[in-house]
Structure 1
Amino acid sequence: MSLYTEWKQLVVYFVKTSGEDEFWNEYASVEEKIMPEIIRRYKTNIKGKLKDLAEGFNVSVISFVGFIDGINSSLKKPLDLEAITEDSEIEFDIDFEKLYINMLQAGTEYLYNLPEWNLIFGKDKLTELKLTYGDTKTIVAPKKIGRNEICPCGSGKKYKNCCGK
């Protein structure tokens, strides 16, 4: 069984026995150990064997696989999670802008408000990223057609006498 499958089974078991809130609290504690260090080391790609990296961040191998699952979509070259073993060579080549926006989307305030982000992005850039994220959530209502306007179907008739009947 792959480590990724073990991770998914652990999540299901944890949620069933302790509840979803307790799972997210536990997972957040893992992220809080790893993420500040990854951000501080943004100039270098973090790489090494999975088990060595997990040990270096002081988390279990399975928890580290869960962390990788969480940031995988922010990697420039996403990893094949099913193929990862303890001896797999892992390299985090992270797109930090994408990671920040993904954290905004996930609503993980404890991560996107880390002071370490200021090492990578200035205050203006962080504001710009937040605005970019906000734009992706904006829903624009379609323009309503007035009953006396020309019908958009191209008939030349008023909307009320054509498609608006």
Structure 2
Amino acid sequence: MSLYTEWNEALKNIKTQEEYQNFFKDYMAKEAECYRKILESKSPVIEGKVVDLSKHNDMTSMEYIGFLDGANTSFKEGLDLDSLTEESVLKAELDWEKLLWNMHDAKAEWLYGMNEWSNIFDDDKRKKIKKDFNRSKQVIAETKIGRNDPCPCGSGKKYKKCCGK
């Protein structure tokens, strides 16, 4: 069984809310520390054996695959997670802007709020990414034509007597 399948099975086997909270409390702390190390190194490239990378980040290999699953959309080229084993050698390059964007999208304040982001982007750049993200999520409603408004076709009639029939 692949590590990615094990990760998904572990998630499916969580039965109670308490188990869920305990599992993700531990995992999220490890995930944050993993991102912290990456941001401190200022290197967008993650390379090495899965087992070595997981030990370096104080995670099990399965947890590290879970980390890669979360970061997969932020890599310049996505990884085939199903094919990864403990002995697999991987090389992946993060796109910093996409990573920060995806952290906002996941509503992961504990990740996009890290001070270590100042090593990568200045405050203005981070604010611009946040602003662009917020704009992309805004819904702009079209102006609705009222029944008694003039028809937009230009006939001069009321909408209800013209195109609104």
TM over 0.5: yes
Provide the C-alpha distance between the structure 1 equivalents of 2:56 and 2:11, rounded to a whole number of angstroms.
23
Deviation at 1:76, TM superposition (A): 0.4
1:16 partner SS? coil
Provide the C-alpha distance between the structure 2 equivalents of 1:22 and 1:136, rounded to a whole number of angstroms.
33
Matched, 1:108 2:108: yes
Matched, 1:140 2:140: yes
CA RMSD of aligned residues (A): 1.7
2:114 partner SS? coil
2:115 partner SS? coil
Contact 2:44–2:95 (CA<8 Å) still a contact in 1? no
Q: Which letter maps to 2:149? A: N
Matched, 1:131 2:131: yes
Taking only the aligned residue pairs, the percentage that are identical comes to: 38
Provide the C-alpha distance between the structure 2 equivalents of 1:23 and 1:142, rounded to a whole number of angstroms.
44
Q: Which letter maps to 1:101? A: W
Structure 1 ranges of 4+ moved more than 4 A: none
User: Gapped runs of 5+ residues in structure 2?
Assistant: none
Contact 2:31–2:67 (CA<8 Å) still a contact in 1? yes
Deviation at 1:24, TM superposition (A): 2.4
Provide the C-alpha distance between the structure 2 equivalents of 1:101 and 1:38, rounded to a whole number of angstroms.
16
TM-score relative to the length of structure 1 = 0.90
1:59 partner SS? coil
TM-score relative to the length of structure 2 = 0.90
Deviation at 1:30, TM superposition (A): 1.7
- Equivalent position of 1:24 in the other structure: 24
